[in-house]
Chain A
């Protein structure tokens, strides 16, 4: 919590917190139903016939851009967080096992991680989504596939380091069970670096979602999705820049917020690891 007194971390927390609030209160904040068609291609600030204001304009199907943006925040935060958490569950589990047991377990797991890492991520995403179809669950699966190997590597390296400490030897000599050693002795000591990585990776997942949406591989329409909104507005971007600009700014500010937060957390986290 002390980290939040530093300007970088505070700015990051403000941006991320703001978007979280928007996502939580989307029902209250959005002026319109994000799926409801009204007047197509209104410019930002234009008024409708009944006197309603479209602050960010409407898209080609006459849907309010602001409302879609607000509901889109909910989509990106829920799906990106789910994807990152799943990636962490897989990467951390395998990383702990490989780093603790080394030997054959490590060889096999590292081999798979390296194979995935050596693949261009984007190609990997496209293959998965094209093969399995566009849905939130498959986006989660694709991101897990893409990120878990990197998380695996970090956790494995930290585990190998911690494994050689005497307090692990003490636990082994006392007959402590292996899973307790992994979860009570090793995992908490690696949390400093992992919290920072988690924030960064959440940002990456948000970008990935944007990219997938832009390629038409994200959530199926008409779900409000920032990447999808950019994709839909792309052909008219010169005439109606608001269709592309606002979703891009939204995505950038969320990712920037996460990066700043990670930066702000890094310093004290680093110190914690050194004490260990």
Chain B
């Protein structure tokens, strides 16, 4: 039975945007008990579509044509007052950032009870009972304790379950979930996806699930709609779209999903020069914050022309480890050697002279470039710091911008003119300007769409081959690690629980946590 039908929905962008329409004539039907996934990359208009369906388009956006029907009621053109009777009661929404969607000053049960206060007449005791029942239904451990907790006392996954409970409080006919698992760790993501699937089966909710990740789609979708530039380019049953995609863009997106199968054993590219001695050796590295050991007895070494991936979930200490190696923080104990020389004892001028060897690219493409400085100046400055004079620095910047695949005009622009993937390329060019031996990439791919992710991975692979770089890739995503690494180290609670060749870690994991990570990786069905 069709519950929600959208016909020819068109949403206009404000004037001066890069295209006139955020959503162009989108039509879809959502049936009872099904999960319809809307997949698209950032800027594809998928969030604009969901906002328009909820009658709350983002500021600046305007619904200009089309209809949205819930059951037999037309939703477009409803007044704000009429919407209040529908939102939360008949259509509910789950957001990407669970922490931001909860009020930090109110215990979570009270926040769920608020929904009942708004939409139903119940006694306080009844509301509390219902809230507890919902928390229980979300398979949260120790429901009484969770109910009395404030959001900051819960993990991200627990918060997201509370949000789902709130959304389900009034048993809405339609649930819209906008990237609900994107901010979560893989293992948590797997659990939340499972929960959403079970809810669909048990209660017959109709769920509109918006995501950029085809891996997640493969886990959860009954039907799939692929969006690009505001249009739905392909729609069909999940199995059909995943196995026999018709539209070239769908094929492109599917191809960009990193698979867990390492590409036919990536060869270490160095070999030619010295019989490999490590460029980076880390021994017994440790960092304590108070009594917490954020980084605990980490040891590994990294050879020229090879990639080691450090994989772990948020809070495992992988980023702290990177910061220790580049001297952004001082370790409590341990040694770091670069090219056989002790790196940690260097101070002031000596450090400045040798820091060239280890460079880093960052996670957030927006924060990693000074918004006021032109790209060319940034890269040239790095070259100057590496010892070039002004003239050659300028040439070097041009050479590097070619190398990372950006047009030369980029040199005269400021960071705001670039997309996330392009900013990451600029970050790479800046790091390369220092002629590093070791490149540390700290979650540098996680903020990117799958297709730009694939392109940056390809670029890193190419640069490694040309320059013999040693790459330390820090990531939460085993799939990404599998694509580029010769070796993989899995971190948990500040320790490396398993380290080995990529093939060995992925095909025959030794540690239970590695196995859990592997099982949680979304889209294992996709090959």
Taking Cβ atoms with an 8 Å cutoff, the residues of A that contact B are 165-167, 169-170, 172-177, 184-185, 188-189, 275-276
Contacts and interface: CB of A to CB of B under 8 A. Distances in A.
Given A173-B359, A185-B370, A185-B373, 6 more contacts: A165-B368, A170-B368, A175-B352, A184-B373, A275-B416, A276-B372
B371 A174 contact: no
Contacts of A173: 326-328, 355, 358-360
5 contacts: A167-B369, A173-B328, A175-B356, A184-B373, A276-B370
**Which of A170, A172, A189, A275 counts the most chain B CB atoms within 10 A?**
A170
A275 B371 CA distance: 7
Contacts of B416: 275
Contacts of B371: 189, 275-276
A269 to B, nearest CB: 13
Nearest to A169: B328
A170 B362 contact: yes
B438 to A, nearest CB: 11
Given A166-B364, A169-B360, A174 B370 contact: no
B368 A174 contact: no
B457 interface: no
A167 B368 contact: yes
A165 B372 contact: no
A176 to B, nearest CB: 6
B355 A165 contact: no
B355 A170 contact: no
Contact of B363 (A166, A184, A275): A166
Contact of A166 (B358, B368, B386): B368
A213 to B, nearest CB: 40
B82 to A, nearest CB: 34
B430 interface: yes
Chain A contact surface mostly: helix
Interface string B400-436: 0000000000000000100000000001001100100
Contacts, number: 58
**Size category, B interface:** 20 to 34
Interface of B: 326-328, 351-353, 355-356, 358-360, 362-364, 367-373, 381-382, 385-386, 416, 427, 430-431, 434
Nearest to A274: B371
B355 A167 contact: no
Nearest to B353: A175
Contact of B367 (A167, A172, A174, A185): A167
B369 A175 contact: no
A37 to B, nearest CB: 55
Contacts of A184: 373
Nearest to B369: A167
B308 to A, nearest CB: 19
Contacts of B360: 169-170, 173
Contact of B359 (A165, A174, A188): A174
A167 B369 CA distance: 5
B328 A172 contact: yes
Contacts of B381: 176
B325 to A, nearest CB: 10
**Which of A166, A174, A184 counts the most chain B CB atoms within 10 A?**
A174
Contacts of B356: 174-175
A189 B328 contact: no
A133 B54 CA distance: 70
Contacts of B372: 188-189, 276
Given A172-B328, A173-B359, A175-B356, A165 B351 contact: no
A166 B362 contact: yes
Nearest to B386: A174
A174 B386 CA distance: 8
Nearest to A189: B372
Contacts of A172: 327-328
Nearest to B382: A174
A185 B352 CA distance: 18
A189 B367 CA distance: 12
A189 B382 CA distance: 19
Contact of A170 (B327, B386, B430): B430
A166 B353 contact: no
Contacts of A174: 355-356, 359, 382, 385-386, 430, 434
**Which of B372, B373, B385 counts the most chain A CB atoms within 10 A?**
B372
A214 to B, nearest CB: 43
Contacts of B352: 175, 177
Contacts of B367: 165-167
A176 B70 CA distance: 59
A249 B386 CA distance: 59
Nearest to A276: B371
Q: Give the 8 A-B CB pairs with smallest separation, nearest first.
A: A175-B352, A166-B368, A166-B362, A175-B355, A166-B367, A167-B370, A276-B371, A165-B367
Contacts of B358: 173
Contacts of A165: 367-368
Contacts of B430: 170, 174
Contacts of B363: 166
Contacts of B355: 173-175
A276 B358 CA distance: 26
A153 B187 CA distance: 43
A170 B430 CA distance: 9
B359 A189 contact: no
A185 B385 CA distance: 15
Contacts of A177: 352
A175 B362 contact: no
B364 to A, nearest CB: 6
B172 to A, nearest CB: 35
A165 B372 CA distance: 14
A173 B385 CA distance: 11
A158 to B, nearest CB: 14
B355 to A, nearest CB: 4
Given A169-B328, A169-B360, A170-B360, A175 B385 contact: yes
B359 A175 contact: no
Contacts of B364: 166
Nearest to A273: B371
A185 B369 CA distance: 10
